[in-house]
Amino acid sequence: MSACIFCKIIKGEIPSFKLIETKFSYSFLDIQPTAEAHCLVIPKHHGAKLHNIPDEYLADILPVVKKLTKVLELDVNNTPEGEGYNVLQNNGRIAHQEVDHVHFHLIPKKDSKTGLGVEWPAQETNFEKLGQLHKQLQSRLAEYDEKL
């Protein structure tokens, strides 16, 4: 996609602070970081949302994210209470996506002020409702698999 800023970054038409590049993925520093070393990892395939991206590109991305966690030493202080990180991938404006080329954020979480803040409107557990939904989804999954 010629107008897409992330496609331009992959092609080197827009500069970026590049980190890891593979056959399928490209990673670089976010220019408006929410925490120090906030990175983005993107597929070298233009697609707005996760479901638009071929599997071979998606399969390459998480190992790149994992390598970055080690390079950023986010694996060092990894006790439950220690420093952490979030991996975030937004799809659609309502879900906070601003750039319409799939991207995975790797965001160090070192304190409560920087990095990702999460709103999590958890509902009370309702086993009856969950059971009904589960049945519906199982039959949809069976239909989906039959179509493949």
Nearest by Cα to 60 from 106, 27, 30, 87: 27
57 binds ligand 5GP, rule: CB under 6 A: no
Options 38, 103, 105, 134, the catalytic residue: 103
**Residue 41 Cβ vs Zn ion, minimum distance, rounded to whole Å:** 14
Element (H, E) at 18: strand 18-21
Q: How far is the CB of 37 from Zn ion (least distance, A)?
A: 23
Rounded-to-integer distance, Cα 135 and Cα 128, Å: 11
CA distance 131 to 73: 42
Q: Which amino acid, 50?
A: L
Q: Minimum distance from CB of 38 to Zn ion (Å)?
A: 20
The binding track of 88-127 with respect to ligand 5GP, each residue x by CB under 6 A or -, is: --x-----xxxx----------------------------
Six-digit token pair at 14? 């827009």
Residue 51 falls in the annotated catalytic set: no
Residues engaged in binding ligand 5GP (CB under 6 A): 5, 16, 28-32, 90, 96-99
Which residues belong to the active site? 103
